[in-house]
Amino acid sequence: MFLTVHSGDEESPKFYRYDVAWRESGIESSHGYIWDQTNEIARRLYIDASRIIVVLSASTCMAKRMELDNEPGDKISDYKKWRAGIQLPGDLSMYCYGFIPLLRSYDSRKIETVFFATPAVIVKQLTQALIRADDKRTLELFPEHIGLVKVIEKSLGKDDIPQAALVHCSDEGAVAVFVKDSRFYSGRYFPVSSEDGQELSTDIETYLLSFSSPDESLPLVITGSAENFKTDWSPIIPSFLSVQDLDFSPVWGLAEFVFAGGECELSAAF
């Protein structure tokens, strides 16, 4: 479990890493059992936190940019359910989904959002693991992709980004995020399918180049277990995070996104 604490002061954020055992649905567990596997520091941080932000892993969460009509207040809920239903197979009750507002059109008739969805059973497992029975707080859920966009912005050191990409690696796979016009454009998870990692690198490069414009350079940031991604890509931009903190890229990014006023509109069931 990767934990970051952001208080808005000069010393934050702070990073903590814990080896924990997640339990599948159907296994009897106490509410908030994860904290029993950490230490007193983590438990105190949990108690004192005003908000609990959870990163939904790209391996189990899809995210895509979506433009919505700015429907009247009494129609917007049904309209969003309809748009979500077009994207997701099966009954909507099988999912936790949401919309993250990015940009409104000049006449406010359109809203550019990031639509995301993850299986509802995963959210139930996370709630069981992280929220104690007597806690009235709820989890605030965001896709990993949004946090990685903030890492791109910070690493490039500018607000105007025509296009850029980030690959966040782990031993199981990698998530690739493409940014266009300084906003999230597309993201996809790639599981590891070969021992040398070359197939993974080739698939990711093909994916990113399918969106890129040849008229602009495409800077790439690599985070996480960077040694698992082999590429001759140019230019590669070093992450602003120190080497020992590269695994914390998604949680750092989401903390920054929320502190900057980022919001998420979750489906009513959650």
Name the CATH topology of 156-241: Nucleotidyltransferase; domain 5 (3.30.420)
Closest by CA to 115, choosing from 78, 91, 86, is 86
Single-letter code of the amino acid located at 184? F
Closest by CA to 208, choosing from 244, 230, 233, 181, is 233
pLDDT for residue 169: 92
Handedness of CA 209, 211, 215, 218 (dihedral sign): negative
Contacts for 102-108: CB closer than 8 Å, 24+ residues apart: 102/65, 102/183, 102/184, 103/183, 104/70, 108/70
| Structure token pair of residue 107 | 């006449």
The DSSP result for 136-184, as a single string, is: ---EEEEEHHHHHHHHHHHHHT-S--SEEEEEEE-SSEEEEEEEETTEE
Single-letter code of the amino acid located at 243? V
CA distance 112 to 66: 6
pLDDT for residue 147: 94
Place of tokens 């969003």: 80
pLDDT for residue 122: 92
CA distance 123 to 112: 25
The DSSP result for 24-81, as a single string, is: -TTS---TTGGGGGS-HHHHHHHHH-S-EEEEEPTTT-EEEEEEEE---TTTHHHHHH
Domains of the chain, residue spans: 156-241
Place of tokens 């979500």: 84
CA distance 270 to 129: 16
Residue pair 222/239 in contact (Cβ under 8 Å)? The answer is yes
pLDDT for residue 117: 95
The pLDDT tens digits along the chain (270 residues) read 999 888 766 666 889 999 998 876 556 678 999 999 999 999 999 999 988 999 999 999 999 999 998 877 678 888 999 999 999 999 999 999 999 988 776 667 888 999 999 999 999 999 999 999 899 888 899 999 999 999 999 999 988 899 999 999 988 899 999 999 999 999 999 998 766 557 888 899 999 999 999 898 999 999 998 777 888 887 899 999 988 899 999 999 998 898 888 888 787 544
* Strand-pair category, 139-143 with 52-56: parallel
Residue pair 153/240 in contact (Cβ under 8 Å)? The answer is no
* Strand-pair category, 173-180 with 2-5: unpaired
Q: 98 - beta bridge partners?
A: 116, 266
pLDDT for residue 158: 84
Respond yes or no on whether the N-terminal peptide bond of residue 235 is cis (omega within 30° of 0). Answer: yes
pLDDT for residue 270: 42
